[in-house]
Amino acid sequence: MADDDHSTRGSYVKGKGEFARDTRYIEDRILDDPQAEWPVEPGRYRLVAARACPWAHRSIIVRRLLGLEEVISLGLAGPTHDARSWTFDLDPGGVDPVLGIPRLQDAYFARFPGYERGITVPAIVDVPSGKVVTNDFPQITHDLSSEWRRYHRPGAPDLWPQDLREEMEDVMQRIYTEVNNGVYRCGFAGSQDAYEKAYHRLFTALDWLEERLADRRYLMGASITEADVRLFTTLARFDAVYYSHFKTNRQQLRDFPHLWAYARDLYQTPGFGDTTDFVQIKQHYYIVQTDINPTQVVPLGPDLSGWLSPHGRESLGGAPFGEGTPPGPVRPGEEVPAEHRIG
């Protein structure tokens, strides 16, 4: 069983050396229905995430883009964890100040004693009871857009435009299987054959994305959607980690002209770069995944300053937030540490 950044017990290598992800999540939903088991209620829930984790990073970005900071609090686990659970070692005394627990595992066990699947982030916790509600990461961000709509900030983007929904679902599915999960399929391959098949699948998908982004500013056209959020978190980690650590080394992200410019465009957009912590990202992968990096040495490179260079994507037209507006400053206390930022 291979540990990964999404789950402490959530993935494994199959008989032929192929990586497979355990996708059995807690599927409860928080609904905009007062009669629901978990109704939308400002201040009741806490999003527990980790800046290091690409799956959790999605939820941090979406919460910020939609302006939900005042209605759903954010608890941040540190970049490393042990075999038991993500821990709140960034907080004073190593205890989450709202939930009063040292380990995310405690919220899982409060609802499911002896919970045997992965203690994953992101997770939403019911603050009054201290019980985990859901860790179904794709549903979490979808519901932030749909079920919490009454509490979106003025000017919030429509991340799930109805007229693009069918095509967007297809695009996101390919991104998930071939790119988001594809890098893990390379990194955790248990045989040469499995690795080579995963490698070719990944770069076939990246070549497709490079072509798709040649004449459109964002994946679905003129403005940002959920599809862009889902791709960005993998691209942000590609050169910093995946290229070397996961052996996805046909070429770096910066060697794809359109993908690299697209990634920089997003990084320089409020909600994306200001939630990205490259130091924690590198610490997590190189320290936690000891089956791949047994020395736990974290590399000093690569040079990441290029993320702030001009991208030129404005020439393709469109606007990141469509007819809306960008989010305001990062909420006090939720900033990425200055020493972990670029520029």
- Active-site residues: which are they? 53, 184
Residue 179 corresponds to which amino acid? V
Measured between alpha carbons, how far is residue 183 from residues 2, 11, 90, 234, 287 in Å? Answer: 14, 14, 28, 8, 18
Query: Which is nearest to 73 in space by CA: 127, 31, 28, 121?
Result: 127
Query: Which is nearest to 120 in space by CA: 51, 25, 45?
Result: 25
Query: Which is nearest to 285 in space by CA: 85, 87, 54?
Result: 54
Binding residues for glutathione: 86
Query: Taking the C-alpha atoms of 59, 61, 62 and 67 in order, what is their torsion angle to the nearest 10 degrees?
Result: 120
CB 183 within 8 A of CB 246: yes
Buried b (16+ CB within 10 A) or exposed e, 100-117: ebbbbbbbbbbbeeebeb
Query: Taking the C-alpha atoms of 195, 196, 199 and 200 in order, what is their torsion angle to the nearest 10 degrees?
Result: -150
Q: How far apart are CA 252 and CA 319, in angstroms?
A: 27
Query: Which is nearest to 118 in space by CA: 1, 9, 6?
Result: 9
Question: What is the distance in angstroms between the CA of the first residue and the CA of the last residue of the chain?
Answer: 39
Q: How far apart are CA 48 and CA 265, in angstroms?
A: 27
CB 286 within 8 A of CB 245: yes
CB 23 within 8 A of CB 31: no
CB 72 within 8 A of CB 64: no
Sign of CA dihedral 187, 193, 199, 201: negative
Which token pair is 334?
Answer: 């939720």
